[in-house]
Amino acid sequence: MYKENIYLPYLMNIERVTEEAPFVKTFRLKFANEEEGKQFTYKTGQFGEWSVFGEGESTFCIASAPTREGYIECTFRQAGRVTSALASLGEGDQIGFRGPYGNVFPIEEWYGKSLLFIAGGIALPPMRSVIWNCLDLRDKFKDITILYGARAVKDLVYKQELEAWKNMPDVNLHLTVDPGGETPEWKGEVGFVPTILDKVAPASKDCIAIVCGPPIMIKFTFPVLEKLGFADNMVYTTLENRMKCGIGKCGRCNTGSVYICKDGPVFTREQLKGIPAEY
């Protein structure tokens, strides 16, 4: 007999709610049961099933860095049934969390190298976990470059953290918004992420690129990286597909024989080239 019901979530208390952008919020969460919190560990890149009791579960990444202990965070956009219910909650409310699931960004393998983060829109949250994790281990890496773009200035998430990264002398931050999305005060770039990447042209020598964004952005970013000399095994991304269980049973997230929930969500471009594109 198996003792544990693998679908039972942890009960989490919402400690803080941050409005990041229109319809985008970040929750800081603490375990309602402290003991569970002490035993809980995760690594950057992993995801979970977040639930509002009565509405169901939704899949997204853990947006905080494992180097920051005592809480976890998630950032979500209000879109469907569960995220709309989540958005209606506030500090002191409780939600469910199952996880961590999936594989991780192999940060240890990157020690001694430069890092290039490329993110678009609401895809910064999975990246933010990696970025803070790496920044907390800053002396292990050479140059750190962050290129982040959104449709419009108002859609940029983590505005305070963007400010913080801008002020870090050892971080190169490039922000961009799509043409037409700029405001009169906007001091960053204007243009699509691949265009700006081409313009910034970071050196590919000993550099790991981590890319996350909407499919269209990824599609046009990969060729630019190739042009800049990034080998396929130096380019990482994190995929998402619809999931219910998160643990390889419900049958939704596979792309060919690869299960995004178990084999992913983190893949190198080299790995992606070997699997069908059902994502």
Partner 1 sequence: MDDLRKKAKDLLESQAVNVIIGYGEGTSGAVRAIFPRKAEETDKLIYDDRCTQNLAVYLMKHEIKHMEKKGIVATIPAMRSILQVASEYQLKEDELVILGIGPDGKLVDIPGFKAMEDYLATQDFGIQEDDKAILRKIDAMSMEERWSFWKDELSPCFKCYACRAACPMCYCTRCFVEVNTPQWIPISANEIGNFEWHLLRAMHLAGRCINCGECGRACPLEIPIHLLTYKMTEDVQTDFGVTAGLKADMPSVLSTYKLEDKETFIR
Partner 2 sequence: MDIERKLIKRASLGKLVEQLRAEGKVVLAPKKKKNVVFFEPINTIDEMSTDYIATTQSPKAAAFPKSDRILKFENGKEGIKFEGQPTSVYPETVVLGLRPCDATGFDSLTAIFNWDYKDQLYNDRLAKTTFIGISCASCDAYCFCTSVKGGPGNTHGTDILLTAVDGGDFLAEIVSEKGKKLAVSGQQYFEADSGADKEKFLANVPVKFDVDTLVPKAQNSFESPVWLEQSLRCIGCGACAYVCPTCACFDMQDETTGSKGQRVRCWDSCGFGLFTLHTSGHNPREVQSARWRQRVLHKFSYMPERLNVVGCIGCGRCSRACPVDMNLSEHLVNLAEA
Contact footprint for partner 2 (CB under 8 A): 1-9, 11, 32, 51-57, 79-80, 83, 94, 96, 215, 240-242, 244-245, 247-257, 259, 262, 276-279
For the record, the structure tokens of 75 come out as: 């950032």
Nearest approach, Cβ of 132 to partner 2 (angstroms)? 26
**Partner whose footprint covers residue 16, from partner 1, partner 2, none (CB < 5 to 8 Å by kind):** none
DSSP characters over 16-77: EEEEEETTEEEEEEEESSHHHHHH----TT-EEEEEETTTEEEEEE--S-TTS-S-EEEEEE
Q: Which residue type occupies 179? A: P
SS3 label, residue 184: coil
Nearest approach, Cβ of 152 to partner 2 (angstroms)? 18
Cβ–Cβ under 8 Å, residues 237 and 272: yes
Of 16, 81, 154, 249, the one binding partner 1 (CB under 8 A) is 81
Who contacts 173 (Cβ-Cβ below 8 Å, separation ≥6)? 145, 146, 148, 162, 165, 166
Nearest approach, Cβ of 33 to partner 1 (angstroms)? 29
Instruction: Kindly tell me which of 80 and 214 has the beta carbon lying closer to partner 1.
Output: 80
**Partner whose footprint covers residue 84, from partner 1, partner 2, none (CB < 5 to 8 Å by kind):** partner 1
Residue in 99, 54, 51, 98 with CA at minimum distance from that of residue 76: 51
**Partner whose footprint covers residue 250, from partner 2, partner 1, none (CB < 5 to 8 Å by kind):** partner 2
| Cα 13 to Cα 90: distance, rounded to the nearest angstrom | 10
Verify binding: residue 84, partner 1, rule CB under 8 A. Answer: yes
Verify binding: residue 242, partner 1, rule CB under 8 A. Answer: no
| Cα 60 to Cα 97: distance, rounded to the nearest angstrom | 11
For residues 90 to 129, the per-residue mask of contacts with partner 1, x marking binding by CB under 8 A and - elsewhere, is ----------------------------------------
Residue in 203, 191, 270 with CA at minimum distance from that of residue 237: 270
| Cα 21 to Cα 192: distance, rounded to the nearest angstrom | 19
Residue in 272, 279, 238 with CA at minimum distance from that of residue 129: 238
Instruction: Kindly tell me which of 5 and 39 has the beta carbon lying closer to partner 2.
Output: 5
Looking at 79-87, 120-128, 171-179, 247-255, which segment touches partner 1 (CB under 8 A)? 79-87
| Cα 94 to Cα 271: distance, rounded to the nearest angstrom | 38
**Partner whose footprint covers residue 245, from partner 2, partner 1, none (CB < 5 to 8 Å by kind):** partner 2
Nearest approach, Cβ of 52 to partner 1 (angstroms)? 12
Nearest approach, Cβ of 81 to partner 1 (angstroms)? 5
Of 22, 80, 223, 251, the one binding partner 1 (CB under 8 A) is 80
Q: Which residues bind partner 1 (CB under 8 A)?
A: 80-81, 84
